[in-house]
C-alpha cells in the first residue's frame, strides 16, 4: 500500500499499542526475552467445518516491507507516539526471528497453530496487527470460496466482487478465492499482481447506452467475437436470448454464452437452456451471477448452468468477513533464561500455552488434528512421528529473518490451490456439508513439556 507519505512501508499498518508495549518492555528489560507467539482460532464460525489458511505469501511480502523508514520515524516522533530510545530501536528494526506455519491452502481447525513467530518479545509483538489483518481477511475469503467450490461440484466459480469491498481488499480477495478453488477474477489488478486469469464481458449499462438490444449485442460481438458472453436480461429474457444467438450467427459463429443476472435463476436456467437448444445453440453456455452464495450455488446444481460468477458474498466471507484468528504469546524466557509456557486465564478466552507442533492423523481420511505443546520443535516433531501424523508446519521464515522463497515466488498461488484441494479431499464427508455442525475433525492437545517445567500459568 502506498501511504499518504508516499512510502511503501507496511510498518504503520500497526496498532499503536504494539509500539507503546515495546517502549515499556525496552525499559523493563522484557523486550529482549525470547518469545513464541501463535496464530490460532478458538472456534470456527457457525456452519464452518474447516478453515483455510490464506494470505501467507502476502504476509511474507509485507514482512519484507516492514521497515520504519525516516518517513515513519518522523510521523511517530511528531505525533509523540513513543520516545527517542524506542525510535532508535524501530529505526534499526528488522525481523530476525523465525516463522513456522501451515502452508498456504492447508485446512485448519480450532486450536491449529497456523503461524508461530519466534523471536524477541519486541520483534515479535510488533507484527501482531499486520499478521492478523492479512490472515484474518484472506483466510475468511478462502474459507467462503472453498465452500462455494465444493457446492459447485466442479463447475467453474469466478470471482467478481471487487465493487463490494475495499479496493485493495478486492485484489487480496481475488487471490484468496483462487486458493479456495476459484478459476478467475474480474479485477485487473489481481491479474497483474498474481497472474490470475481475468474474466468479464458487459454490464446492463452497455445495453442501455445503445439504441436497442440488437445494436448493443452487434457491437459486443463485433468487438469480442461470437464466442463472447451476452447479458440477456436487460429487457425481456426470451427476446434477449433470441437476439443474442442471432447476433453471434450474423457474425458467423455460435454464441459462447448467455449471462443471467436477475430473477429466479433456477427456473430461468431451465427455460433458457430449452430455448437455446431449440434454436440449435446447443454449445452456448449459461453463466449466472446474481447474489450467489454457497447455498444458491447448491440449489443451482440441479439446473443446466455452466459457471457461477460470485461477488458480494465471496468478498465478504459469506457471513463471516473475518476468520477470528488471534495472535497470542504462548511461551517466553523467564528471568533465568528458561523458556516457560504462558497463557491468559481470564474468563471465556482461555488459551493453551507453549510452542506447539501440529500434525493430521489419517485413518483412511483425516481423523484428528494433533497439537503437541513442547519445549522444542524437535520434541514436538518426535511426538507427531510417534503418532503417525502428517506434519502440518513448514518453515516460512528461517531463523535470522530470511523468507523461504517457495512460499512467495512463482507458482506459489497455484501450489496453494492444489494443496487446498488435496487437504480438503482428505477430510471426512461431513466437511462438505453446508449445514450447522462441529468441525470436520476434532483437535487433540498433548503436552510433552518436561515434567519439571511447570507452566507459568495453568488453566
Contacts with its own copies in 219-248 (CB under 8 A)? 219-220, 222-224, 233-237
Over the window 194 to 213, marking each residue x when it contacts its own copies by CB under 8 A and - when it does not, the resulting string is x---xxxxxxxxx-xxxx--
- In 318-451, where does DSSP find H-type helix? 377-386, 412-425
Closest separation in Å from C-beta 439 to its own copies: 21
Task: For the segment 2-31, give every residue that binds its own copies (CB under 8 A).
Answer: 2-5, 8, 10, 12-21, 23-25, 27-28, 30
| Residues in Cβ contact with 13 at an 8 Å cutoff, skipping those fewer than 6 apart | 1, 62, 129, 130, 133
Closest separation in Å from C-beta 411 to its own copies: 15
CA gyration radius for the chain? Answer: 26
Please tell me the distance from the alpha carbon of residue 105 to that of residue 388, in angstroms, as a whole number: 22
Q: Is 250 in the site for its own copies (CB under 8 A)?
A: no
Q: Is 457 in the site for its own copies (CB under 8 A)?
A: yes
Task: For the segment 252-291, give every residue that binds its own copies (CB under 8 A).
Answer: 261-264
Q: Is the CB of 75 or the CB of 432 nearer to its own copies?
A: 75
Over the window 78 to 117, marking each residue x when it contacts its own copies by CB under 8 A and - when it does not, the resulting string is -x-x------------------------------------
Closest separation in Å from C-beta 53 to its own copies: 16
Strand partners, 366: 362
CA neighbours within 13 Å on the CB side: how many for 397? 23
Closest separation in Å from C-beta 320 to its own copies: 9
Q: Is 335 in the site for its own copies (CB under 8 A)?
A: yes
Task: For the segment 117-156, give every residue that binds its own copies (CB under 8 A).
Answer: 121, 125, 128-130, 132-134, 136-137
Pairing of strands 184-185, 355-363: unpaired
Query: Rounded to the nearest 5°, which phi and psi values hold at 431?
Result: -60, -30
| Residues in Cβ contact with 384 at an 8 Å cutoff, skipping those fewer than 6 apart | 357, 358, 359, 370, 372, 391
Q: Is the CB of 313 or the CB of 424 nearer to its own copies?
A: 313
End-to-end CA distance of the chain: give it in Å, rounded.
41
Name the residue among 181, 170, 198 with its Cα closest to residue 315. 170
Q: Is the CB of 215 or the CB of 378 nearer to its own copies?
A: 215
Amino acid at each position: 500500500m502506498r501511504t499518504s507519505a508516499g512510502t511503501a512501508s507496511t510498518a504503520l499498518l500497526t496498532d499503536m499499542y504494539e509500539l507503546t508495549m515495546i517502549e515499556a518492555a525496552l525499559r523493563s528489560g522484557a523486550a529482549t526475552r525470547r518469545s513464541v507467539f501463535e496464530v490460532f482460532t478458538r472456534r470456527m464460525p457457525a456452519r464452518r467445518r474447516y478453515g483455510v489458511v490464506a494470505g501467507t505469501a502476502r504476509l511474507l511480502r509485507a514482512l519484507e516491507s516492514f521497515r520504519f523508514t525516516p518517513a515513519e520515524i518522523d510521523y511517530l516522533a511528531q505525533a509523540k507516539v513513543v520516545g527517542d530510545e524506542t525510535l532508535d530501536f524501530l529505526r534499526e528494526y528488522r525481523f530476525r526471528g523465525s516463522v513456522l506455519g501451515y502452508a498456504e491452502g492447508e485446512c485448519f481447525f480450532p486450536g491449529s497453530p497456523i503461524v508461530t513467530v519466534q523471536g524477541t518479545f519486541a520483534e515479535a509483538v510488533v507484527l501482531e496487527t499486520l499478521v492478523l489483518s492479512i490472515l484474518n481477511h484472506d483466510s475468511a475469503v478462502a474459507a467462503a470460496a472453498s465452500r462455494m467450490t465444493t457446492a459447485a461440484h466442479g463447475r467453474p466459480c469466478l470471482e467478481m466482487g471487487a465493487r463490494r469491498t475495499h479496493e485493495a481488499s478486492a485484489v487480496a480477495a481475488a487471490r484468496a478465492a483462487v486458493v479456495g478453488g476459484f478459476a478467475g477474477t474480474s479485477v485487473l489488478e489481481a491479474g497483474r499482481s498474481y497472474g490470475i486469469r481475468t474474466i468479464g464481458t458487459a454490464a446492463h449499462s452497455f445495453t442501455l447506452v445503445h439504441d436497442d438490444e440488437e445494436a448493443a449485442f452487434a457491437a459486443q460481438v463485433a468487438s469480442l467475437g461470437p464466442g463472447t458472453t451476452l447479458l440477456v436480461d436487460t429487457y425481456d429474457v426470451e427476446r434477449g436470448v433470441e437476439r443474442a444467438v442471432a447476433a453471434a450467427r450474423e457474425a458467423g459463429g455460435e454464441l459462447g454464452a448467455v449471462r443471467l443476472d436477475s430473477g429466479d435463476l433456477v427456473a430461468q436456467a431451465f427455460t433458457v437452456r430449452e430455448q437455446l437448444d431449440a434454436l440449435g445453440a446447443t454449445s452456448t453456455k449459461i453463466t449466472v451471477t446474481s447474489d450467489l452464495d454457497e447455498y444458491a450455488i447448491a440449489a443451482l446444481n440441479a439446473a443446466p448452468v455452466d459457471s457461477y460468477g460470485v461477488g458480494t458474498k465471496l468478498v465478504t466471507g459469506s457471513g463471516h468477513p473475518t476468520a477470528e484468528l488471534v495472535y497470542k504469546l504462548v511461551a517466553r524466557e523467564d528471568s533465568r533464561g528458561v523458556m516457560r509456557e504462558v497463557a491468559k486465564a481470564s474468563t471465556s478466552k482461555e488459551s493453551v500455552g507453549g510452542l506447539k507442533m501440529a500434525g493430521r492423523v489419517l485413518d483412511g481420511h483425516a481423523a484428528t488434528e494433533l497439537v503437541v505443546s513442547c519445549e522444542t520443535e524437535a520434541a514436538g516433531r518426535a511426538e507427531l512421528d510417534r503418532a503417525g501424523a502428517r506434519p502440518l508446519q513448514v518453515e516460512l521464515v528461517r531463523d535470522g529473518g530470511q523468507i523461504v522463497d517457495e512460499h512467495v515466488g512463482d507458482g506459489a498461488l497455484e501450489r496453494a490451490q492444489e494443496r487446498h484441494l488435496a487437504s480438503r479431499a482428505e477430510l471426512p464427508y461431513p466437511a462438505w456439508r453446508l449445514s450447522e455442525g462441529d468441525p470436520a475433525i476434532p483437535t487433540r492437545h498433548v503436552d510433552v513439556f518436561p515434567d519439571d517445567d511447570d507452566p507459568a500459568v495453568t488453566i
